Amino acid sequence: MSETRTPTIRPLAADDHEALLALARRLAAWFRPLDQMMLAIDLAQHKGWVATEQGTIVAFLLYFLEDAEQAELSWLAVDPDAQGRGLGSQLLTQLEASLRSWGVTTLRLNTIPADHEAIFDATNAFYRQRGFDVEARHDDYYGHGRPALRLVKRLAVERVP
């Protein structure tokens, strides 16, 4: 009989940073050394949530508010051994619900186009399936010829009576 794990979603805490950096290193196929250095910087400035299973962080999401109506998803990562179990979706759902309650109407992110790096095909499909549309493509966005897709999702704001 397979073990059932129930994840806990909670806000990112300062003492989570080392675990997030270690998780990013496990995802080296997606996050290059420069990306991992940027994560260390972003952890000091961005807010987020983590998913834990049995006390271990298995996924995380970072974001920041651009202004009162726009937010940027800066990081979404799931441990390779935990992928395909809905953790990324749960974190994204948590973020979107919070943003809506704050009156944020637009969520954006950057990702690598699948036609540039095939490993990002599943990443691109994940976001499309969750309502994100391509807003723009930026050649050489990350340097060294590495482009970015700018994705956007419009959020329906929850109105409190």
Question: What integer pLDDT is reported at residue 67 of this predicted model?
Answer: 94
Confidence of residue 60 (pLDDT cuts 50, 70, 90): very high
Lowest mean pLDDT among 30-44, 45-59, 90-104, 125-139: 30-44
Confidence of residue 130 (pLDDT cuts 50, 70, 90): very high
What value does the mean pLDDT of the chain take?
86
Whether 113 shows a pLDDT value over 90: the answer reads no
Return the SS3 of 25. helix
- Specify whether the CB–CB gap between 40 and 123 falls below 8 A: no
Instruction: Pick 8-154's CATH classification: 3.10.450.50, 1.10.20.140, 3.40.630.30, 3.40.800.10.
Output: 3.40.630.30
DSSP 99: H
Distance in angstroms between the alpha carbons of the first and the last residue of the chain: 48
